[in-house]
């Protein structure tokens, strides 16, 4: 799943693409400075002397998987509310005016397992960006009247997502995988639930989840690490404290292929076809990532060639792995001609079967590794991508894992490891299909779910 975003958010590369060490003598791109305050708040500062910008990111380890059914959607709703005013900036427009006034790019995002707030601006304005972003995180007012107004905004956002088959099919796929447990619920929530939320729900969630031990601050750009450390310590001196709030562990018990078909009169069928895979702590994730690149990582990938170039069945087609803390899945996604939907799915499964049976070639493996190296080079030019790439391993694994170190592990993956991982993951009993299109007969799709 892509995280629910309140605004359009531009990045140089996704966190999954920002893997590390490069060949040809490329050295570790940045020094980094890691510090844990007495409160438990963790700070990562990554100086980037060659850039003129600085990104201030606050990442908190909570999202929709930390919710109960009664408050499903509150993580995303709270993200909206954090921009409605603080004790220091009480008017709804104060935050926007201040950040717009320095030409900043700013945003927030909510996913299943984390929520983030960031601003990117001229490094000369780092005092402003830190003050505003930290103020949002610490001092949002969560006024009753603002919550009431924003309920209408959230409902329209949910309506918008469900009118976008290319996006909504992802929600359906996770619902198929995980069912009625937090991992299977929509990040944005259900309309009847979010409209029933009370101010006390927000305050309780805010105070119990947005706490020191669950928070990472990452600042990347042309900044002085000592200055950032002192400023962060001063501005966060009154951060909330509480015992960490745990989430329910994902339960998976699939024993046969399964499909979910959502009828919608569309001009194009959108489908997600995937297999239960591995979580983010499994070292096989590097081999899975390489499989994704070979099968659907670009215009030279196997699926793009077979489905789009040779057969003209789709405009977009791709593949990759989604890894959470306690589950994961390998996914093929495409938007295809309605009349050729089954053919596109069958071709996708044929390509999966080929990889499971024969593996990939040495040339394909090297090309995938080189692709990740290129993504690293592009991503590390952007302070926002750098901040997130360094923050996530600390949040989830409590370790400093540089992008360079991550890609160094990828570069060591062998053909045998890739093939072994493909045999393990591409299992018919782990196969799932979510479809949105003008179809009322589910049986026709059930019949093609085999390897």
Task: Point out the residues that are catalytic.
Answer: 79
286 by Cβ neighbours in 10 Å (0-12 / 13-18 / 19+) ranks as buried
The β-bridge partners of 68 are: none
Q: Spell out a b/e string for 87-113, using b for 16 or more CB atoms within 10 Å of the CB, else e.
A: eebeeeebbeebbeeeebbbbbbbbbb
The β-bridge partners of 34 are: 44
- Residue 168, helix vs strand vs coil: helix
Structure-token pair, residue 3:
């995280």
Q: Which residues contact 158 (CB under 8 A, 6 or more apart)?
A: 186, 188, 189, 190, 191, 194
The whole-angstrom separation of Cα 262 and Cα 170 is: 12
Structure-token pair, residue 55:
């990104």
Structure-token pair, residue 281:
């702590």
What string of DSSP letters covers 14-41?
-GGG-----STTPPP----EEEE-TTS-
CA dihedral 73, 248, 393, 58 (to 10 degrees): 30
Residue 237 DSSP label: T
The whole-angstrom separation of Cα 423 and Cα 356 is: 5
Pure H helices in 68-140: 74-81, 94-101, 126-139
What's the Cα-to-Cα distance from 3 to each of 79, 101, 180, rounded to whole Å?
12, 27, 19
- Residue 110, helix vs strand vs coil: strand
């Amino acid at each position: 799943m892509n995280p629910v975003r309140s605004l359009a958010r531009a990045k140089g590369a996704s966190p999954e693409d920002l893997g590390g060490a490069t060949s040809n003598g490329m050295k570790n791109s940045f020094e980094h400075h890691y510090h844990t305050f007495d409160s438990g708040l963790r700070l990562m500062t990554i100086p980037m002397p060659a850039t003129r910008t600085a990104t201030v990111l606050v990442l908190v380890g909570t999202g929709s998987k930390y919710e109960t059914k009664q408050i499903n959607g509150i993580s995303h709703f709270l993200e909206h509310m954090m921009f409605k005013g603080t004790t220091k900036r009480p008017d709804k427009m104060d935050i926007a005016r201040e950040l717009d006034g320095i030409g900043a790019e700013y945003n927030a995002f909510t996913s299943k397992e984390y929520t983030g707030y960031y601003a990117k601006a001229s490094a000369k304005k780092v005092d402003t960006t830190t003050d505003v972003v930290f103020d949002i995180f610490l001092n949002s007012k969560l006024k009753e009247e603002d919550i009431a107004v924003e309920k209408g905004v959230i409902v329209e956002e949910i309506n918008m997502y469900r009118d976008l088959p290319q996006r909504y099919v992802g929600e359906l796929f996770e619902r198929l995988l995980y069912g009625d447990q937090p991992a299977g619920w929509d990040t944005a929530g259900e309309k009847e639930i979010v409209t029933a939320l009370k101010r006390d729900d927000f305050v309780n969630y805010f105070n119990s989840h947005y706490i020191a031990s669950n928070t990472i601050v990452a600042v990347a750009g042309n900044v002085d690490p000592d200055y950032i450390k002192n400023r962060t310590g001063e501005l966060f001196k009154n951060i909330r404290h509480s015992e960490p709030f745990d989430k329910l562990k994902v339960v998976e018990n699939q024993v046969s292929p399964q499909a979910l078909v959502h009828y919608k009169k569309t001009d194009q069928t959108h489908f997600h076809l995937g297999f239960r895979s591995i979580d983010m702590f499994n070292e096989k994730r590097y081999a899975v990532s390489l499989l994704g690149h070979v099968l659907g990582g670009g215009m030279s990938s196997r699926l793009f060639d077979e489905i789009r170039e040779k057969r003209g069945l789709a405009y977009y087609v791709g593949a990759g792995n989604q890894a959470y803390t306690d589950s994961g899945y390998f996914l093929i996604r495409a938007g295809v001609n309605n009349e050729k939907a089954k053919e596109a799915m069958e071709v996708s499964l044929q390509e999966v079967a080929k990889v499971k049976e024969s593996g990939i070639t040495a040339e394909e493996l090297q090309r995938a590794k080189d692709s990740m190296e290129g993504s690293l080079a592009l991503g590390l030019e952007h302070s926002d991508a750098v901040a997130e790439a360094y923050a996530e391993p600390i949040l989830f694994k409590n370790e400093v894992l540089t992008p360079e170190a991550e890609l160094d592990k990828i570069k060591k993956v062998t053909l045998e490891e890739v093939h072994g991982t493909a045999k393990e993951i591409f299992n018919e009993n782990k196969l799932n299909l979510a479809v949105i299109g003008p179809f009322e007969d589910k049986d026709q799709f059930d019949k093609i779910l085999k390897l």
